[in-house]
Structure 1
Amino acid sequence: MRIADQVLGWLAALDPLHLAALTSLFTALETTALIGLFVPGDLAVLLAGSTASTPGRFAFVFAAAALGTYAGEMGGYALGRKVGPRIRYSRFGRLLGEHRWVRATAYLHGKGASVLVPARFVSVVHAVAPLVAGTVGMPFRRFAFWSGVGAVVWAVTYTTIGMLAGSAYREYGHLGLFTSVGLLAAGVVIMAVRSRRGNRDVTSATADGHATSSGSRS
């Protein structure tokens, strides 16, 4: 309880511009520096959203999360277009694991750019998807449009969940803590459902690819 008070108090004390800048920076680095593979941006937005006690602060956090992740995805796409294959087979790429590249590639395979919207909610895939999209040559205009839609949907979802959790905690104390945990759990469930769906899509795409390869060899 005391730790939660300290964390929320520290975040709430931050100037809205500083909080927005930190949120934007973290979400941008998520897909360019690929830190989202280790620390998901969802957590940063949930925490920042928990301080949204006014419409203005909510707008700051939402805009920062959406713009930050969009800028990060643009950077990831550009990096993929320029040096994507080299990154994949570099020491850094091997450190990330070939299975992550395969998973992201299979998720994007044959589904069109609109898959970038649900991809924002799929663990691991969302951090690598822009890089993979650039590497495989997805048309920039399609990527830019659907990436923007995904950034907005993702940002408003997690900012809202964070806001509701923070509001419940401030309003009801101990009871609000359970409400907050429930709301945060709902966010985790959303990610889990999206991740499971993504895994099914990856399995299907991989199976289709193997079937096609087998057919061509025969």
Structure 2
Amino acid sequence: MGWLSTNGPLVVWLVVLSFVFLECAFVVGLFLPGDSLLFTAGLVLAQQGTHDVQAWSLSIVATIVAVVGNQLGYVLGRRAGSSLTGRLGGRMLSVERLAKARDFLDRRGFWAIVLARWIPWIRTLAPLIAGAAAMDSRRYMTATATGAVLWVPTLVLLGYYGAGVLEQFPWLLTTVMVVGIVFFVAGTAWGIWRYRQEMRKPAQLVSATAD
């Protein structure tokens, strides 16, 4: 945060938009701090004394970038198709598991994509898997846009408008960070657990549930 605050709003914009795009579009995004970066960007903009328009503009543009990034990830997954199973590892996404993922997306795909925005790692892999599983493109686009609108502005504006409160009560920053870490670790664990539960279901049970 100190490095961002000393380089001006332009650098904040470049870093945020680049990281959001990479995290939403490519596997390399697994290692990028999307949630904490968005929140920190809001804090930095507030500390720099920028106008509210800066925070809202960054929220809107970053939301669009997040949608475009996820759409690119979907297209890459769609084109890779079944070959994605080998690239992500047979144990993680075998041909059988890809078929189960397709059934799962048919049943709960909309909310799965929306909620994936809030779960690190899963929000990066979800577009690739949705594309490889041939999830309906319109349904996917609606879901990923909804998720982006709920994800990006919430974190950026929470950091921006909460900066004043955090300055008055410094201990709140530590509390927010701890709660954030717990939330995202728990969310990741829950997402992995749900994935494993779905993948353990027999194929015929998944199909029957879908019906």
TM-score, shorter chain, exceeding 0.5: yes
Contact 2:56–2:157 (CA<8 Å) still a contact in 1? no
Structure-1-length-normalised TM-score: 0.76
RCO (CA 8 Å, sep 6+): is it higher in 1 or 2?
Answer: 2
Could you list the runs of 4 or more consecutive aligned residues of structure 1 that deviate by over 6 angstroms after TM superposition? none
* Separation (CA, whole Å) in 1 of partners of 2:9 and 2:40: 13
Q: Equivalent residue for 1:72?
A: 69
CA deviations over 1:144-187 (Å, ceiling 9, x no partner) = 11100101111123213433564344x33xx41x2112122333
Contact 2:117–2:148 (CA<8 Å) still a contact in 1? yes
Summarize the Cα distance change of 1:24–1:98 in structure 2 as closer, same or farther, 3 Å threshold.
farther
Determine which of 164, 169, 172 is the counterpart of 1:167: 164
Q: Equivalent residue for 2:120?
A: 123
Residue 63 of structure 1 and its aligned partner are, at CA, apart by 2.0
Q: Equivalent residue for 1:11?
A: 4
Contact 1:24–1:68 (CA<8 Å) still a contact in 2? yes
Residue 118 of structure 1 and its aligned partner are, at CA, apart by 0.7
Q: Equivalent residue for 2:83?
A: 86
Structure 1: give runs of 5+ residues left out of the alignment: 1-6
Q: Equivalent residue for 2:23?
A: 30
Q: Secondary structure at the match of 2:59?
A: helix
Number of positions where the alignment pairs a residue of Structure 1 with one of Structure 2? 199
Summarize the Cα distance change of 1:98–1:37 in structure 2 as closer, same or farther, 3 Å threshold.
farther
- Say whether 1:138 aligns with 2:131: no
What root-mean-square deviation, in Å, do the aligned CA atoms of Structure 1 and Structure 2 show?
A: 3.0
* Separation (CA, whole Å) in 1 of partners of 2:107 and 2:139: 14
Q: Equivalent residue for 2:198?
A: 205
Summarize the Cα distance change of 1:201–1:179 in structure 2 as closer, same or farther, 3 Å threshold.
same
* Separation (CA, whole Å) in 1 of partners of 2:36 and 2:91: 25
Q: Equivalent residue for 2:57?
A: 60
Q: Which moved more, 1:187-196 or 1:43-52?
A: 187-196
Structure-2-length-normalised TM-score: 0.78
Q: Equivalent residue for 2:172?
A: 179
* Separation (CA, whole Å) in 2 of partners of 1:132 and 1:81: 8
Structure 2: give runs of 5+ residues left out of the alignment: none
CA deviations over 1:50-102 (Å, ceiling 9, x no partner) = 12324222213312331221111011001011124324313xx34xx843786
Q: Secondary structure at the match of 1:122?
A: coil
Contact 2:84–2:132 (CA<8 Å) still a contact in 1? no
Contact 1:20–1:60 (CA<8 Å) still a contact in 2? no
